[in-house]
Structure 1
Amino acid sequence: MGSCIICGTSTDGPICEVHEEDVVFEFEGNQPSQLTPGRFYVGSVDGYADFGVFINIGNVTGLLHRSKLDRRLESLEWEVGDNVCVQVNNVRDNGDIDLDWSIRETPEDFRGHLLQTPEGDSFIDEDAEDGREDDEDDGDERGETATDTEAEPEPKAEAGTEPEPDDSNATPDAPEPTPGEPGTTGGADEQTGGSPGDAELSEIAADSPDEDGSTDDAEGDDIDAEHERVTVESLEDRVGDTVRLEGTIASVRQTSGPTVFELEDETGIVDCAAFVEAGVRAYPDIEAGDVVRLDGEARVRRDEIQVETDSIETLPEEAGDAVETRMNEALDDRASPDSVNPIADDPEIDAIVDDIEAVATEIRRAVIESRPIVVRHDATTDGYVAGAAIERAVLPLIEAEHGTADSVYHYFDRRPLEDGVYDMNDATKDATRMLGDRDRHGEKIPLFVFAAAGSTAASADGLDLLDIYGAPQVVIDGQAADDAVADRIDSLVTAETRTVSTVAATLAATTNGDVREDLLHLPAVSYWADAPEMYVDLAAGAGIDAESTKQLREAVALEAFYQSYEDKRELIIDLLFEKRTGLAAQVSEQFVTKLDDELDTVVPNLDERIVDGVPVAVLDTDAYTHRYDFPPTRLLLDELDRRLDSAAVVGVGTDELHVRADGDLDLSSVVAELDDTVPDAGVSNPGTRQPTIEFLAGEREAVIEAVVDAVAGSIATPSA
């Protein structure tokens, strides 16, 4: 055993797990799997690509993606061959290495510089290592319990006892200390072996009979009654004290060192580390959900409060019930928002304030209960803005609740959805992830919040899968939910004449009033046309004029298309909340260029027809669009609908078509008419957010003719 070069605690190598991220490593392995995720390494620049920088770490190469940089890729001043420091984020099964940016750029910026080989960690400076080994050898000559000379002036003796002298083990120059004789040294610290050290004495004392013949067992029903019960929120004032906490275990995770229990009480949550030996599960009978009493010392680790656990016990039923009752009462009070105050004087939002308050309470309660929150939103500007509004409100609450900087990634996730549909593919991914997190880490089943998603019939099967596992679901939208899913959703908030971002902005302000001023411009960003004047004025009052609002809308739309399944959290934050209009302007310019180029191709190839006096424009999206480049079909058809005088625009692909029409389109009537006209085409309505019809590719031409007639007829004679 050695000792950590930073904190001095016993460890198998030169650095303890707690301080691994405080040092940088040279790597002498030859396999990616030999790297340790979370550690910082010295590497060299191998080359650039459009998507990032390749970094050599020893004999392996990883990618520092441009999304991980704290600046634009083009502004990096690294040359090929330059030494840099990076953090290994993940090593994939195929050997790919994902790297993270390091704000510390040279080994001198770290608190230590070590060597990692396949055999283990060691010192780079061999002289320093040899000196350290010499010190350890000297310690061995003094005895197994020897301490450094700096610690020797403080003798270890139990108050009120007279140590029995042992001439055979005492050194000639260091007589046994006697209580009341200051300045003496020796005792157990100078013995050559056979006598217990401090840790062993503590264990012997703990197992020694009390006056009544009983023993104090750390895992028994009776923990030392001298400790005062404190709350999690008071721990900052109790650093260095031995404290007692009562609450529930929110999660248990086993690290390569200690076992970490997340303990939650009525005021907050804190990490409690318990150590048996490296990688060994401490208190294996304690699981997530248990109501416990925990004693330990409050400490600060990496600028965060942590409790070094001395003992944990599961509380008896009556005592546990009392703790849960206390927590539930406090939880109800904490979760309820102070009030619902819409960000604008909007009758449409005023009509749903009760629903907004109920959902805000549910979100706040999930944070307090350490229940992960997963926001699933449509991969459009409206969906991204709504998801980002909720994210803006929830992240500070999570960080305040858990007291750790990385908790915002652990307890919150935002995942975009194509076409706003939550199908079995998406639900299966989510279920697999949440069940794995539950079994491996003891996490609770998440709260799912759907924004501009999950409200159509196409999402029914996916929602049913979540429901099987008891995952609570919230849907907010700017349109009414289909009957097929309305009864499946736990909490539903819709405003049919407003964007979902408009609903989300007031929901976010209700969930966390501290971010209210950050949200005022978001509704205006989400309207492509006919934005309510109240929200335009609200954005202008927040310093976002009409041109900046347009740029933000277009920039988010472009970024939503690329890497559509990624949340792009930091980039969206930069665009929407840091108000870097220079960034929005640049991305918006790309949006305009790409969209105009596509329209130049599309418009001359439109098949414009007039049926029963109704103009209908038909676009063959397979033949006259760049299907795998920006803009996506949805956005392109929306733009054509805004620009053209046609009453309807029909975009036809290989086996599906999309319709944009003035007014309300009775899609059910259209599909019924198609069933009669082209019965062999397998026509169906998949239940997506925008009117879509699927058909058999072999009947494509017949379907186009029938759809144009049916759509024109539906517009000419709207249903009552």
Structure 2
Amino acid sequence: MIRVKKLGGGKNIYDLKLGELYIAWFEKGKLFLNKNVLVRLKSREQPTKDTPVMVKKIIPPNIVEAEKINDEYEIIEEPIEFINLSFDNAGETITVICRIDDIYQTSGPTSFTLFDGTSTLRASAFSGAGKRAFPELKKDDIISARLLLKKREDYLESELVSFKKIQNKDVFIKKLDSLIEKKSQPDKVDFLIKSETLEKLKPRILTIAKEIKRAIVEERPIILRHHADCDGYSGAIALERAIIPLIIEHHKDERAQWFYYKRAPTKAPYYDYSDVTKDLTFSLQETAKKNYKEPLIILVDNGSTEEDLLGIRKVKIFGAKIVVIDHHFTFIENGRSIVDNYLDAHVNPYLVGGDKNITAGMIATEIARFINRKVSNIYFIPALAGFGDRSRGNDFEQYVELAMKAGYDKDFLKALSEAIDFEAHYLKFIESRGLMDDIFGADRDRQHKLVKLMKDEIESKRAQQLETIKHFIRVEDLGRFVLAKMEIEKLTHAGDFPSVGKATGLTHDYLVRKYKKDVLTLSIACNFITVRATEGVGINVNIIIHELKQKIPYGFISGGGHENAGSIRFVEAVRDEVLKFVEEKVKNWKVKN
């Protein structure tokens, strides 16, 4: 007699292994492993009853080719786990050992949140309107619960019929820890491209993927903070498309995504203190109201610089976990970044000798696949992020090829990246999950219409802006490169598109085309300078800022960015000193061979 498995109702083809034996049940002339998986017999024999089969081939999205087994069999019942329950189980009564994670008294029944190490399930018990049922039960009690499963609207819940307290908690807690560790493991996938830098970053990438999966299993709210530009949004949306399905699966409730996940853009290219305060305020309120754990904060396209330190250190005081996915220049000493001592995990290509050309959006997309191998509609995102941040090199070209296979050509990716920057400019701090989801291709028809709509407006505004700047810009040919300076506040409309950074980039590109040589562009304001430079100029904005702090300690100097694209901030009183230092510095900058 052979022993065969019964595939759980919540599982699909990705949970199967070739060569394993399963019971296939017969219905309406077809065989199924469960409602999600259709069986096709290799022999093409017409089935007539339930039969054991051996999985021979997996055919996405929902078919397996199998060989019929004629031996006598017995079914191995899998242990009941919340994660495997589905609407098919409604009406069944099950017994599960679990922990009470929360108790909430409504005006009707008492609501219990139960956790068995794989997922949570809501259970209710009624002993009178507004009257506490089973008052002897307390939060964190371990019980053997007898539950009647019920379908309610679009989620599964249960009725707590009876229970027995488990006195020896150690065995269950040990099992719970083991299950959490198992479910937190990164999925086994390969990188989307061949990349030496990504391979070097892999241990760090796996650590972040594990931290995010663990947060979902532990029901730790996730706050995703990202830079409000195309690269930042790209990384955030890729992660979002991996995280939200797992949250819904874990809680068996579509609404859980709005309670356990929040995404917020930030205008500053670092974890701004005001954003830190907003995140902590939100988190502390939720903890007080709903007894949530401290959050996991994910920083995308920022988090690696000295400017991030204050915010990072503050959230750590309140017990939050924090991970960083970034590609901005970071000062490294003895193989560690200045922020590493305060982070739970950190991925940045500079940590392994790479550079900005592998962007945060690219890295986040790779991490998304280690979080959730079933994540979809993200293969174009790394190339999009690259166009948004002007990436170059073989890694970028490989991602472009991948995007083209997904139906995105180069011209559309470039137009899409500009549309995202345009939308981000006006969204400011708003999450706008539905709108950004459509712009990122959840609805391809609407995506194309939005890009077409924005394209004409973007081109018109850019043309007007460039015409203004061309009239007033001051250009000096220094031989090795062209130096261009403009009083940017006098040439742009505050709050309108393009922003100072975009206007500077637009001007810089025009000058490179016009002079066909290296260019350094300085957009000068009363208390900041925005810098753009071609690589041949050889500057590093971050080093200049570091030296300015020493040279002009009374100037309240700050700022950062990439080596050849960033901003320097200062008090207005030292503007002329800063400008003089920057000009002298770049004129005498020694270019690395």
Q: Same fold (TM over 0.5)?
A: yes
Which deviates the most, 420-429 or 242-251? 242-251
The reply to whether residue 299 of structure 1 matches residue 150 of structure 2 is yes
User: What is residue 505 of structure 1 aligned with on the other side?
Assistant: 365
Q: Structure 1 residues 614, 544: CA separation in 2 closer, same or farther (over 3 Å shift)?
A: closer
User: What is residue 375 of structure 2 aligned with on the other side?
Assistant: 515
Match of 1:616 among 473, 478, 483: 483
Q: Structure 1 residues 686, 253: CA separation in 2 closer, same or farther (over 3 Å shift)?
A: farther
User: What is residue 660 of structure 1 aligned with on the other side?
Assistant: 532
After TM superposition, give the deviation of residue 540 of structure 1 in Å.
0.8
Match of 2:285 among 429, 436, 442: 436
CA contact (8 A) 1:457 1:688 kept: no
User: What is residue 345 of structure 2 aligned with on the other side?
Assistant: 491
Match of 1:378 among 204, 227, 240: 227
CA distance in 2, matches of 1:382, 1:588: 19
Query: What is the one-letter code of the residue matched to 1:341?
Result: D
User: What is residue 453 of structure 2 aligned with on the other side?
Assistant: 586
1:108-507 map, 5 Å = 230-232=80-82, 233-234=84-85, 236=87, 238-275=89-126, 289-310=140-161, 315-316=166-167, 318=168, 320-482=169-331, 483-495=337-349, 496=355, 497-507=357-367
The reply to whether residue 571 of structure 1 matches residue 435 of structure 2 is yes
Unaligned runs of 5+ in 1: 1-228
Q: What SS does structure 2 have at the residue aligned with 1:618?
A: strand
After TM superposition, give the deviation of residue 610 of structure 1 in Å.
4.2
After TM superposition, give the deviation of residue 466 of structure 1 in Å.
1.4
The reply to whether residue 628 of structure 1 matches residue 501 of structure 2 is no
After TM superposition, give the deviation of residue 545 of structure 1 in Å.
0.9
The reply to whether residue 595 of structure 1 matches residue 455 of structure 2 is no
After TM superposition, give the deviation of residue 391 of structure 1 in Å.
0.3
Q: What SS does structure 2 have at the residue aligned with 1:628?
A: coil
After TM superposition, give the deviation of residue 662 of structure 1 in Å.
2.7
User: What is residue 124 of structure 1 aligned with on the other side?
Assistant: none
1:644-683 map, 5 Å = 644-645=511-512, 647-663=519-535, 664-667=538-541, 670-671=544-545, 674=548, 679=552, 682-683=555-556
CA contact (8 A) 1:381 1:556 kept: yes
CA contact (8 A) 1:616 1:712 kept: no
Greater RCO structure (CA 8 Å; 6+ sep): 2
TM-score normalized by the length of structure 1: 0.63
Residue by residue over 1:201-243, the C-alpha shift from the partner in whole angstroms, topping out at 9 and shown as x without a partner, is xxxxxxxxxxxxxxxxxxxxxxxxxxxx943234645533444
User: What is residue 586 of structure 2 aligned with on the other side?
Assistant: 711
CA distance in 2, matches of 1:631, 1:709: 29
User: What is residue 555 of structure 1 aligned with on the other side?
Assistant: 419
Q: What SS does structure 2 have at the residue aligned with 1:351?
A: helix
CA contact (8 A) 1:671 1:683 kept: no
CA contact (8 A) 1:375 1:448 kept: yes
Residue by residue over 1:472-529, the C-alpha shift from the partner in whole angstroms, topping out at 9 and shown as x without a partner, is 111112235443312211111122331111111111122111125x211111111233
Q: What SS does structure 2 have at the residue aligned with 1:513?
A: coil
Query: What is the one-letter code of the residue matched to 2:247?
Result: I
Residue by residue over 1:69-112, the C-alpha shift from the partner in whole angstroms, topping out at 9 and shown as x without a partner, is xxxxxxxxxxxxxxxxxxxxxxxxxxxxxxxxxxxxxxxxxxxx
Q: Structure 1 residues 458, 283: CA separation in 2 closer, same or farther (over 3 Å shift)?
A: farther
CA distance in 2, matches of 1:281, 1:255: 9
Identical-residue share of aligned pairs (%): 27
Q: What SS does structure 2 have at the residue aligned with 1:449?
A: strand
After TM superposition, give the deviation of residue 254 of structure 1 in Å.
4.9
CA contact (8 A) 1:374 1:413 kept: yes
Query: What is the one-letter code of the residue matched to 2:462?
Result: L
CA contact (8 A) 2:110 2:133 kept: yes
The reply to whether residue 691 of structure 1 matches residue 563 of structure 2 is no
CA contact (8 A) 2:187 2:369 kept: no
CA distance in 1, matches of 2:131, 2:439: 45
Q: What SS does structure 1 have at the residue aligned with 2:339?
A: helix
CA contact (8 A) 1:419 1:688 kept: no
Residue by residue over 1:401-431, the C-alpha shift from the partner in whole angstroms, topping out at 9 and shown as x without a partner, is 1111111111111111122211322212111
CA contact (8 A) 1:666 1:719 kept: no
CA distance in 1, matches of 2:302, 2:165: 42
Larger of the two Rg values belongs to structure: 1
CA contact (8 A) 1:423 1:460 kept: no
CA contact (8 A) 2:115 2:121 kept: yes
After TM superposition, give the deviation of residue 641 of structure 1 in Å.
2.8
Match of 1:546 among 410, 422, 426: 410
Q: Structure 1 residues 500, 284: CA separation in 2 closer, same or farther (over 3 Å shift)?
A: farther
The reply to whether residue 526 of structure 1 matches residue 526 of structure 2 is no
Q: What SS does structure 2 have at the residue aligned with 1:644?
A: helix
After TM superposition, give the deviation of residue 668 of structure 1 in Å.
5.8
- Residue correspondences, number: 487
CA contact (8 A) 2:107 2:130 kept: yes
CA contact (8 A) 1:555 1:587 kept: yes
After TM superposition, give the deviation of residue 595 of structure 1 in Å.
2.2
Q: Structure 1 residues 436, 485: CA separation in 2 closer, same or farther (over 3 Å shift)?
A: same
Q: Structure 1 residues 694, 288: CA separation in 2 closer, same or farther (over 3 Å shift)?
A: farther
Q: What SS does structure 1 have at the residue aligned with 2:338?
A: helix
CA contact (8 A) 1:674 1:683 kept: no
Query: What is the one-letter code of the residue matched to 1:300?
Result: K
After TM superposition, give the deviation of residue 395 of structure 1 in Å.
1.2
CA contact (8 A) 1:476 1:492 kept: yes
CA contact (8 A) 2:221 2:261 kept: yes
Query: What is the one-letter code of the residue matched to 2:120?
Result: I
Query: What is the one-letter code of the residue matched to 1:523?
Result: P
Query: What is the one-letter code of the residue matched to 1:557?
Result: D
Q: Structure 1 residues 642, 489: CA separation in 2 closer, same or farther (over 3 Å shift)?
A: farther
Q: Structure 1 residues 693, 234: CA separation in 2 closer, same or farther (over 3 Å shift)?
A: closer
Q: What SS does structure 2 have at the residue aligned with 1:514?
A: coil
CA contact (8 A) 1:360 1:507 kept: yes
Q: Structure 1 residues 681, 644: CA separation in 2 closer, same or farther (over 3 Å shift)?
A: farther
Residue by residue over 1:19-77, the C-alpha shift from the partner in whole angstroms, topping out at 9 and shown as x without a partner, is xxxxxxxxxxxxxxxxxxxxxxxxxxxxxxxxxxxxxxxxxxxxxxxxxxxxxxxxxxx
Residue by residue over 1:593-632, the C-alpha shift from the partner in whole angstroms, topping out at 9 and shown as x without a partner, is 2222222222222122345754221121211111211112
CA distance in 1, matches of 2:240, 2:532: 31
Q: Structure 1 residues 619, 250: CA separation in 2 closer, same or farther (over 3 Å shift)?
A: farther
CA contact (8 A) 1:250 1:443 kept: no
CA distance in 2, matches of 1:453, 1:287: 42
Q: What SS does structure 2 have at the residue aligned with 1:420?
A: coil
CA contact (8 A) 1:683 1:693 kept: no
Q: Structure 1 residues 288, 382: CA separation in 2 closer, same or farther (over 3 Å shift)?
A: farther
After TM superposition, give the deviation of residue 255 of structure 1 in Å.
4.4
Which deviates the most, 391-400 or 644-653? 644-653
After TM superposition, give the deviation of residue 297 of structure 1 in Å.
2.4
Q: Structure 1 residues 238, 672: CA separation in 2 closer, same or farther (over 3 Å shift)?
A: closer
